[in-house]
A = this chain, B = another copy of it.
Amino acid sequence: MLLKWTEGASAAQKQAVLAALAGLPGKIPEIRAYVFGPDAAISDGNHDLAIVADFDDAAAYQAYAKHPDHVAMITQHVRPILASRAAVQYEIP
């Protein structure tokens, strides 16, 4: 998942997203690995945040997607500063 923030997004708002993401693996047992970070600003035109999450299967991903703590994180922290998003779910060989 790659997210782009609005022009008006504050540093505090972006930091709150990172803090909320850091809390999710402890709350959602379906998460096997959860790596995320802000863009390093070494390329032009990038999105602002990457989230790479591993799950055992599609059902586990769906459980994560619908999990109340995940939904609350999106509603409270992401959506207010979200300009655009790009996502792919793919199988790891």
Contacts and interface: CB of A to CB of B under 8 A. Distances in A.
A11 interface: no
Interface residues of A, number: 29
A58 to B, nearest CB: 5
A62 B89 CA distance: 26
Given A52-B52, A92-B37, A86 B2 contact: yes
* Interface-centre pick from A36, A43, A90, A92 (highest chain B CB count, 10 A): A90
Interface in A17-72: 35-40, 42-43, 45-50, 52, 58, 61-62, 65
A88 B37 CA distance: 9
A52 B54 CA distance: 12
